[in-house]
Structure 1
């Protein structure tokens, strides 16, 4: 697929065909492509938790979802995804990298960073996964893990404290298409969001 077509087709998919697993070759390709993301200082301070076994996916939804049965259409559709990937960011890796001689911030002070690049870089990696999914003819949805569920998620999967989930990605073949209510908002135009030389 041409790159422009991949970008044009990329959107969040919230309902999946539970009877069609993601081929292992596709899983490997999307993870390999994620590793091509840019990172500050070439730190590559990310990790990816791959949940493709039914028991692991159920544990994920139990740990991160609301207590009680899944009653929302959104959650019911998302739970049918045969694959979940959780991108994790490691702040310490960046603080360590920038304390090395070629960078020289030996105090490891996170206040030196104008924004948390460990999260941004992991987000870049997640976007490359989302684009790869489209190129492979599948669908995906990036969504957040509620802050009050993060500890349960960590405990459920033994995630070290150094790694913070920036969200999660459901991946699979799309179920019969349903138009998301969010799409009714329409896409903002270039003129609405681009400012050349000076704002306004």
Structure 2
């Protein structure tokens, strides 16, 4: 099979996709079509994984009680994070919109298997954490695919991971990686929201030479 040619026009559009991928917190109430979700998960499965183990497991959280549990988990964790902020940053932190759990029509919890049979252990004997890295790669692949379809994704990391497997009724040995809000964004921006809010400024990736 002849590989495709990724010409300059494609490269420019790919760069635009990278630049316009945002961590979305503000969502419209429109539901995510089931077919779109299936496409995104199929594309996420194209992500690289150690030993081709594909250790990721996405859980669609639809139950109202479980969604309420997640919101309370975030509320408690966020209050603790606010209390830990230095005085000069506390007010700014309090103004940040750090989750879209109320608005997002679709919530996806991502877990990684601790020792999948798939892949036969290749490449992870000395670095077992590559299973978690592989799951994150799947999330990033889904993130870009979602943006290409006009959808937004927001990673909620201000959560207490203990109890997550039990709350979502998955095997206790699954490792929680992150919670992702998926939906149509209220607005698009090339500039990260945390940059717009003055929290931090992004920088180019540093390169060290040895």
Question: Do the aligned partners of 1:85 and 1:168 also contact (CA within 8 Å) in 2?
Answer: yes
State the superposition RMSD in angstroms.
Answer: 3.2
Q: Is 1:6 the equivalent of 2:17?
A: yes
Deviation track 1:11-61 (CA, whole Å, cap 9, x = no partner) reads 1111111x2111111111111111111111111112110124555433432
Query: TM (normalized to structure 2)?
Result: 0.72
Task: Give the equivalent residue in structure 2 for 1:74.
Answer: 97
SS in 1 for 2:180: strand
Task: Give the equivalent residue in structure 1 for 2:4.
Answer: none
Task: Give the equivalent residue in structure 1 for 2:3.
Answer: none
Task: Give the equivalent residue in structure 2 for 1:152.
Answer: 163
Q: Which moved more, 1:26-35 or 1:136-145?
A: 136-145
Q: Report the number of matched residues.
A: 181
**Any stretches of 5+ residues in structure 1 without a counterpart?**
none
* Separation of aligned partners in 2, 1:15 and 1:57: 17
SS in 1 for 2:37: helix
Question: Do the aligned partners of 1:16 and 1:78 also contact (CA within 8 Å) in 2?
Answer: no
1:57-72 equivalence runs, <5 A: 57-62=67-72, 64-67=73-76
Deviation track 1:158-193 (CA, whole Å, cap 9, x = no partner) reads 121221111111111112569723444333135xx1
Deviation track 1:92-114 (CA, whole Å, cap 9, x = no partner) reads 1179822xxxx5x9xxxx7x423
Query: TM (normalized to structure 1)?
Result: 0.75
Q: Is 1:126 the equivalent of 2:139?
A: yes
**Any stretches of 5+ residues in structure 2 without a counterpart?**
1-9, 80-93
Task: Give the equivalent residue in structure 2 for 1:167.
Answer: 178
SS in 2 for 1:84: strand
